[in-house]
């Protein structure tokens, strides 16, 4: 708890909140543009529209936000070579845990703000379909779970490599790969942590080229995908933490 609180002392003036604010701002503008001109048919599928649009937006933006947050949290230790001092006071695993929890707070806030945005848009535009409370709850949990998995992966890279270009480049490549994986079968998507925004989506689109009308429909939640993601999370967390513990100075 002490180490967790200290993480927030360390990041004063690092403006990490600004990254989250920027993300939310872009998503507000994007979604307002998306719902600005909805007809009755679209309003009838309003919640589905939001829960289809936001995971796509997330696959573009969230991995980059996670990479930047992890990098901002970790590069302060490399710049001033402070890990040497810290590791004489705290066990390495506690430093790792505290950093992850601190980053997770930012990702959780981003996710909650996004869900609030979805609700505000839904009520503001008066979507005519009933609000899928349970699925919005799932959306929050799944999005946070994916964000956390990407965050811990980025944190491992940012802590192990002094040069933050390594972690940021991997994050960027991962983002593009995750985005392209949306066009591939789900079996392939499940091997990429960045592809899980697509795996754990429960809205699909059926577009009719003749009528040029698109219909959004609910699909069952892919629980096996969530289990795979959990395996990824714990594997990355435990292996990454072990590598950090074993790192010598």
Partner 1 sequence: MTEIIVTTGLCKQYSKVLRVKDLNLSIPEGVVYGFLGPNGAGKSTTLKMILGLAKPTSGNISIFGRNIDDRNRIAILRNIGSLVESPGYYGHLTGEENLRIFQTLRELPVNEIDRVLHIVRLENQKKKKVSQYSLGMKQRLGLACALLGTPKLLILDEPTNGLDPAGIQEMRELIKSLPHQYGMTVVVSSHLLVEIDQIASHLGIISKGELVFQGELSSLHQKSQHHIALRTMNNSLAVKIFQENKVPFSVQDGYLILPALEDAQLARYTTFLSEKYVGLVRIEERKKSLEDIFLELTGMAVSL
Query: Which positions lie near partner 1, rule CB under 8 A?
Result: 2-3, 5-6, 9-10, 12-14, 76, 79-91, 248-249
CA 188 – CA 195 distance, rounded (Å) = 9
Of 81 and 224, nearer to partner 1 (C-beta) is: 81
Minimum distance of partner 1 from residue 20's CB (angstroms): 19
For 134, other C-beta atoms within 10 Å of its C-beta total 9
Give residues with Cβ within 8 angstroms of 195, minimum separation 6. 59, 177, 178, 181, 182, 188, 189
CA 191 – CA 193 distance, rounded (Å) = 7
For 133, other C-beta atoms within 10 Å of its C-beta total 10
Of 4 and 184, nearer to partner 1 (C-beta) is: 4
Minimum distance of partner 1 from residue 93's CB (angstroms): 11
CA 131 – CA 244 distance, rounded (Å) = 44
Minimum distance of partner 1 from residue 100's CB (angstroms): 17
- Could you give the 3-state DSSP secondary structure of residue 205? strand
Minimum distance of partner 1 from residue 42's CB (angstroms): 47
Of 81 and 163, nearer to partner 1 (C-beta) is: 81
Minimum distance of partner 1 from residue 86's CB (angstroms): 7
Of 86 and 119, nearer to partner 1 (C-beta) is: 86
CA 73 – CA 83 distance, rounded (Å) = 13
CA 179 – CA 196 distance, rounded (Å) = 10
Of 10 and 125, nearer to partner 1 (C-beta) is: 10
């Amino acid at each position: 708890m002490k180490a967790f609180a200290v993480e927030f002392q360390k990041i004063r003036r690092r403006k990490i909140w600004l990254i989250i604010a920027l993300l939310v701002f872009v998503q507000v503008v994007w979604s307002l543009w998306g719902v600005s001109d909805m007809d009755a048919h679209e309003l009838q599928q309003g919640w589905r529209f939001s829960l289809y649009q936001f995971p796509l937006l997330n696959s573009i933006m969230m991995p980059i936000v996670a990479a930047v947050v992890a990098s901002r949290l970790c590069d302060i230790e490399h710049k001033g070579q402070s890990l040497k001092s810290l590791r004489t006071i705290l066990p390495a695993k506690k430093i790792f845990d505290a950093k992850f929890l601190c980053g997770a707070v930012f990702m959780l806030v981003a996710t909650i703000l996004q869900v609030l945005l979805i609700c505000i848009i839904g009520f503001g535009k008066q979507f005519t379909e009933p609000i899928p409370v349970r699925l919005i709850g799932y959306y929050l949990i799944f999005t946070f779970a994916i964000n956390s998995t990407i965050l811990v992966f980025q944190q491992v890279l940012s802590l192990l490599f002094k040069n933050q270009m390594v972690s940021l480049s991997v994050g960027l490549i991962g983002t593009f790969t995750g985005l392209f994986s949306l066009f591939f079968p789900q079996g392939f998507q499940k091997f990429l942590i960045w592809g899980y925004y697509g795996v754990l989506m429960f809205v699909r689109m059926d577009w009719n080229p003749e009528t040029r009308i698109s219909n959004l429909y609910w699909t069952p939640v892919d629980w096996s995908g969530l289990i795979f993601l959990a395996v990824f999370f714990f594997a990355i967390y435990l292996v990454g933490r072990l590598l950090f513990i074993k790192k010598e100075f």
